[in-house]
Structure 1
Amino acid sequence: MPNEQTFIVDDDAENADSEAALRKPTKLMAYFRLNQIDPDARDLKYPEIPEHYVWEDRDGSWSPTDMEKIYLRMLLAHVAGSTSFEALRTVNETVCETFQEACRRMGLLERVDEYDRCVIEPANNAPPKRLRRLFALICLVAVDNAALELSQLWLNHRIALMDDFLYAGNDESFTGVKLSINPSNKLKTLIIP
């Protein structure tokens, strides 16, 4: 209800931490703010927001999922001399609505090596949990002719994707991990014995 937002504050937290938590917007208030600043969000109902945006807990805001960042990286690797985001989204003199659309029009989403390139850069500095999320997103959006090569993508990056498990000494239990893809129904499954 208006002016009745619920905040949970740790009893052991410092006063400054509690005050910062009270200043940070709730997910609902951040949803209202998102709709004020992002026209694309206005087409979504509140329960649909997590499908397209990620909750940033540190500042209490919704930001677009990493997929648009993946498509942006793809474009940056192939488009020379761009002067703006709009220029990056322009293909054959048509400004695309999203980076994904621009990639699709350029034929980049049909190339398996593009997905591989998108994992290489973050693999050097992103935590494995974030890489696994990125890998899952790639599995969800991979086009049909690239889907059969996802197992190769897994093989190329499996150590980085499981690094936190391996570091914790669980390497023996992850030796049989593999990606299974059923071409008949496009089912993609990560099998961990």
Structure 2
Amino acid sequence: MKTNEAFEDARELTYAEFPTKWVWHSNDKQWQRRKSKYCIGRVYYTQPSSGDRFYLRMLLNIVKGPRNFEELRTVNDVTYPTYKEACYALGLLDDDKEWHDSLIEASNWANGQQLC
């Protein structure tokens, strides 16, 4: 995120894309532009049950160039208090209302065995 603050071109990348253009130099403890063209990067998997960590990972894969965690939670100039709410605002999560409505509708014209 500090690199996103300092360099305009770094803000055009998501967290997953960042290693394709930048490389971490542990001696200097800073990111520098990548000179070679090929790299292998990964974003570690998190389970939905891991809570904020899961929603943070979702946002990092979508939002380009956040300069801080508050900016990561900001959608359409509204800063949400949690990562989960920001994911809802971006449309990454839907509630189960459509499923409940369709099951209720189907139960009006069929029994449980027919629905199975």
TM-score (norm 2): 0.41
The structure, 1 or 2, with the larger RCO (C-alpha pairs under 8 Å, 6+ apart) is: 2
Q: Which has the higher helix share?
A: 1
